[in-house]
Amino acid sequence: MRVGLFAVGRLKAGPEKELAARYLDRFAKSGPAVGLELGKLVEVVESRASNPETRKREEAALLDKSLPADTVLVLLDERGKALGSEDFAELIGRWRDGGKRDVTIAIGGADGLDPALHARADAVLNLGKMTWPHQLVRILIAEQLYRATTILSGHPYHRA
């Protein structure tokens, strides 16, 4: 199963980009052993519209254009469900075992994600109650994807 990331906002060269790339590389190398592969990474520029609703709608349209057919859509949102690492790995494994070909994890812009995306999402998750800048969210989700592969394979990286 391919796991792709969609992000509003681009990572500039620097330590955040390097760390996200390091975890995505680890995921790409460890994932095939458990039936997971790194899908496409899509970064889009934040909308310049004058109001939040229009910005979210324009960013959602860009997400729609990038989605593979029949993808499982996962939104990262502060109002989403909090999962532990083992539960996240189990969720990924369940989709994989259920024959899903693609999962897309979406990181919204400063205004969040459009309500229309929430209505059609397969899961809405949060990475804690605190608000995180998108650069750090990219690192956190990349690390959790790598951690999921280690959990699914029984590797000792994840120590509960």
Q: Which residues line the annotated binding site for S-adenosyl-L-methionine?
A: 76, 108, 127-132
The CA distance from 59 to 62, in Å, is 5
Count, residues in the chain = 160
For the annotated binding site, the residues are: 76, 108, 127-132
Strand-strand pairing, 123-126 and 102-107? unpaired
Q: Which helix (H) or strand (E) holds 23?
A: helix 15-30
Contact 38, 31 (CB under 8 A): yes
